Chains A and B, each alone.
Chain A
């Protein structure tokens, strides 16, 4: 019922968008944007996000639950992005998540969630008219970093699957305005739960759960300059399978979790001290299925620097 946080992590990463003024090669921060950092640069930082919902969907049925009240999750993420080349970045992220329900008796959960690693490659930049189209291929994996309980929704901190992701992304920039569209396929491994039998639409006698794979579509547009990025983001997350939560049943990791969010992000890059960046933003679930109607707010602080000092002047 909480959105699988790996994907949220991807969204939180949006907050990490920051920019180094390098013509149209801005610094990269997420697996879902068109921003790269240059060769031999490293960007590290920390972000915090807060998610909260009180309405959620059981299938199509939207409701609240007096035994949950508001379900919130907080995340602290550490990230790093390294410019292997101007066209090839590596991003890693390590989130810690804690959940809480404001009503009822269910205990909150917390722990290290899933570490992710993305390879981000921009093979082509093509001038089109006065603007530039760039194409990206992004591949990633995520792996649970602790033995947290996936089968305790909505309090679980994640789905505990090993995920493999592939994203294709197109960006068009004209002057300081940009539009980015991407599609991502997420392959999710089976998970092992503590129960040896469970009911979906029939009883299963196994501790293995087949999580549906996922398609994610992301569109964003806005303004980027040397000191500012401001963007609006729409995202759709669609489970390729899974089943609906029945009325008044408990959620389950292999539910068909779908949602569409709208959000906005801002980033400010200081000229002094150079390399310091602050981000903030948020989003809201405008429609969903078997998920909470989350409102997410996030903020982050990052530092971008060259790890080869002799080259810094060239930049």
Chain B
């Protein structure tokens, strides 16, 4: 806009200077580019190859030789030479998009597939919209594309998805490491000096491809867990396969062998997932009513949905799902003692405390609540802990197999924490603070399941316990975070103090099962 100063304006010009300075300062900050943390991860260059990983303890495989991997073609064979020529052709015509693929995927296969899963969880973490009659439709795995799409990846479902994908990658990699040691095939760039290594060079044998094992097992598992996303995840797999070849890290045959192995291992995990009890966890209307009636019969106030229209409770039978780290029979033994009676003075006191947090939110508390909210449309609390863990693990230069082992331990702990927490929630069926006192307004969305104990506290207690074991040099970082995550639910006025404090204790107990496994799985010896 042209500005012509008339005489009056000239007189006032000096008054305007600060104003003009403000406008210029604002306009000069016009660069809206955002650099995201996960775009800054460097190419993975493992500090240790963990060649003994074929001796580590698998989760479900009976043996690392449970599935065979055929002997690779000899290096002198025409087939292998043809594979090398394919790599050379790619490297000659490499495009910027392909360079971007390398920059992305070279940060690590387990890392990127965990991120992809977090994406899928966030995308599908939406409660279904009600029917016209005030009931709610349920997602159907038999008809996954119909609204509401299958799945609704709520926190328990998400915890389970992360656990299966992480655990299958771990088992598949143990098998892969076995065959890597058996066949001891060097990487393409070691067999042909004209092939460039566009990723950090490694002495790890490249047959079968570890990236392909991670990808193949994840894709096969995700077909079951996120059936509407098959096209998306297969595109990711194709991208990753291309990356490995362009980078000179794997031949096509090395990829295909790894992918086939991963898919076979995934068959074992998929069979378990189909029968682990999740399919029935939604319960029935009769069961939902019985929960309410049983609790009322004890003289306690039963939970009721605070949604309008009232929504059935989230996965009330998830407490019966088969855990990874201990037998199903252990779940009731981890159940905490009862919450304060809804008729007790202690309960009134705790309700009053929630009301005071509701009425007097500090900005700091609001920030803590928002940081840990992980509600609808997010990757859920286990995804948040995966993100926290991943950003620590990238500093550790783990091998892919150690990445997978640590993520598997973390996510099996998260799934089992969900099971134990959901068992307590539906055993006690305790009301939320806003049900007890309608004056309690919340600083985040109120979850549609009973209060005792807090899911965030269980997830966080379990995750922090395992991460503190894995990364002892971080001191109290993770337990401090878990404490804050737990208390965020009190600050947000959606949980009583007991829910948070007891949930942390239970979560820690679950986390200790993961630590026990970690101490004996062979990876830390």
Binding site for B on A (CB under 8 A): 39, 63, 66-67, 84-88, 90, 103-108, 117, 119, 121, 123, 137, 139, 141, 143, 147, 149, 151-152, 162, 164, 166, 168, 187, 189-190, 193-199, 202-206, 208-210, 246-250
Contact = CB atoms under 8 A, between A and B. Distances in A.
23 contacts: A39-B8, A84-B16, A85-B9, A87-B6, A88-B8, A103-B308, A105-B442, A106-B441, A107-B441, A121-B1, A149-B370, A151-B370, A152-B443, A162-B29, A189-B32, A190-B32, A194-B366, A194-B367, A196-B37, A202-B119, A206-B35, A248-B127, A248-B376
The 10 closest A-B pairs by CB, nearest first: A66-B308, A85-B8, A107-B441, A194-B370, A199-B122, A137-B1, A194-B367, A205-B37, A105-B442, A205-B38
A39 B15 CA distance: 15
Contacts of B123: 199
Contacts of A104: 306, 308
B124 to A, nearest CB: 10
B445 A203 contact: no
Nearest to B372: A195
Contact of A250 (B27, B375, B434): B375
Contacts of A87: 6
Given A66-B308, A84-B16, A203-B379, 20 more contacts: A63-B129, A84-B8, A88-B8, A104-B306, A105-B434, A107-B441, A108-B441, A123-B2, A149-B370, A151-B370, A162-B26, A193-B370, A199-B122, A199-B378, A203-B122, A205-B37, A205-B39, A210-B32, A248-B126, A249-B377
A166 to B, nearest CB: 7
B518 interface: no
Contacts of A149: 363, 366-367, 370
A105 B4 CA distance: 55
A143 B29 CA distance: 13
Contacts of B472: none
Contacts of B371: 194-196
Contacts of A103: 308
Given A87-B6, A147-B363, A202-B119, A106 B23 contact: no
B377 A199 contact: yes
Interface in B415-451: 434, 440-443, 445-446
A248 B370 contact: no
Given A105-B446, A202-B119, A248-B127, A197 B307 contact: no
A66 to B, nearest CB: 3
A248 B129 contact: yes
A249 B118 CA distance: 17
A250 B376 contact: yes
Contacts of A141: 22-23, 26
Contacts of B38: 205
Nearest to A202: B119
Interface of B: 1-4, 6, 8-9, 12, 15-16, 19, 22-23, 26-27, 29-30, 32, 34-39, 115, 118-119, 122-123, 126-129, 147, 306-309, 358, 361, 363, 366-368, 370-371, 373, 375-379, 384, 387, 434, 440-443, 445-446, 493
Nearest to B41: A205
Given A84-B9, A105-B306, A246 B27 contact: no
B307 A66 contact: yes
B36 A205 contact: yes
Contacts of A143: 26
A246 B38 CA distance: 25
A114 to B, nearest CB: 12
B433 to A, nearest CB: 9
Contact of B9 (A88, A105, A162, A190): A88
Contacts of B36: 204-206
For B22, B26, B370, the residue with the greatest tally of chain A CB atoms inside 10 Å of its CB is B26
A147 B119 CA distance: 30
B441 A84 contact: no
A104 B434 CA distance: 10
Contacts of B126: 246-249
Nearest to A86: B8
B26 A164 contact: yes
A199 B361 CA distance: 26
Contacts of B443: 107, 152
A206 B34 contact: yes
B333 to A, nearest CB: 34
A90 B12 CA distance: 11
Contacts of B37: 196, 205-206
A164 B368 CA distance: 30
Contacts of B122: 199, 203
B34 A248 contact: no
B19 A107 contact: no
A107 B34 contact: no
Contact of B129 (A84, A147, A189, A247): A247
Contacts of A198: 378
A143 B25 CA distance: 12
Contacts of B127: 248
A116 to B, nearest CB: 11
Contacts of A189: 26, 29, 32
A54 to B, nearest CB: 12
A149 B362 CA distance: 11
A48 to B, nearest CB: 24
Contacts of B440: 105
A238 B159 CA distance: 39
B30 A187 contact: yes
A199 B23 contact: no
A205 B387 contact: yes
B424 to A, nearest CB: 22
A250 B441 contact: no
A168 B251 CA distance: 61
A107 B6 contact: no
Contacts of A205: 36-39, 387
Nearest to B34: A208
A119 B24 CA distance: 13
For B122, B434, B440, the residue with the greatest tally of chain A CB atoms inside 10 Å of its CB is B122
Nearest to A100: B441
A106 B445 contact: yes
Nearest to A199: B122
Contact of A67 (B118, B308, B367, B384): B308
Contacts of B377: 199, 246, 249-250
A141 B22 CA distance: 8
Contacts of A164: 23, 26-27
A195 B34 contact: no
A101 to B, nearest CB: 9
B376 A123 contact: no
A137 to B, nearest CB: 4
